[in-house]
Amino acid sequence: MVQLKDKEFEVYISHQDLTGRIQALASQISQQYEGRCPLFVAILNGAFMFAAHLLQHISIPCEITFIKVASYQALQSTGKITELLGLNEDISGRDVIIVEDIVDSGLTMEGIVASMKSQNPRSVQVATLLFKPQALRTSVELHYVGFEIPNAFVVGFGLDYDGLGRNLQDLYVLKEKEEPVVKPLP
């Protein structure tokens, strides 16, 4: 159990399970990109921990860079993103793998993929540690998914609650407040 500000969280996926799964994803990516030199583009802030663990297990030549985006989910159904920290690299002709912590509605990822594709890369694939299928509102394609999770709020291993919790080794889920049981009158 961990308390962050006014909320209580409980362990949901252990550090060992997270890193084990990430290692498997890294092997899969290393095999599929054999003979190429992919450019990993990790999305700050949340993906820093996932990216650090993933890259340690990539066994082929590769590069990594980081971007930071803000997404707006106003009225339109497509993701509109603003780059707060943009890409310095020329990605034309490159094999790009986007590294994200979590895909929820998918609007942010849809915007990022569109932005990458407009810069003429050779290919664009997506690796996300976590995916909430029930929340998905777009048709964005996810090529590598660590864990599918239900529609609940998670923190730890890079993900935050109001800026806190990114340092936690395990992934935690928000603890539902136990409602007092109301017994029907006899």
Enumerate binding residues for ligand 5GP (CB under 6 A): 46, 71, 101-109, 153-155, 159-160
Q: Which is nearer to ligand 5GP, 96 or 113 (CB)?
A: 113
User: How far, in Å, CA of 115 to CA of 179, rounded?
Assistant: 45
| Residue 29 near which of Mg ion, ligand 5GP, none (CB within 5-8 Å, type-dependent) | none
User: How far, in Å, CA of 100 to CA of 131, rounded?
Assistant: 10
User: How far, in Å, CA of 95 to CA of 117, rounded?
Assistant: 11
- Report residue 64 CA to chain centroid gap: 15
Are the beta carbons of 109 and 126 closer than 8 angstroms? yes
Which residue among 4, 22, 67, 101 contacts Mg ion (CB under 5 A)? 101
Residue 22 beta carbon to Mg ion: minimum distance, rounded to whole angstroms? 16
Residue 56 beta carbon to ligand 5GP: minimum distance, rounded to whole angstroms? 22
Catalytic one of 104, 160, 162, 170: 104
User: How far, in Å, CA of 157 to CA of 49, rounded?
Assistant: 6
Which residue among 38, 46, 79, 106 contacts Mg ion (CB under 5 A)? 46
Tell me if residue 104 is catalytic.
yes
Among the residue ranges 77-85, 98-106, 148-156, 172-180, the one whose residues contact Mg ion (CB under 5 A):
98-106
- Report residue 165 CA to chain centroid gap: 15
Residue 178 beta carbon to ligand 5GP: minimum distance, rounded to whole angstroms? 21
Torsion region of 112: left, alpha or beta (phi above 0 gives left; psi -120 to 50 gives alpha): alpha
User: How far, in Å, CA of 1 to CA of 163, rounded?
Assistant: 18
Among the residue ranges 45-53, 62-70, 71-79, 166-174, the one whose residues contact Mg ion (CB under 5 A):
45-53
Residue 71 beta carbon to ligand 5GP: minimum distance, rounded to whole angstroms? 5
**Which residues are known to be catalytic?**
104
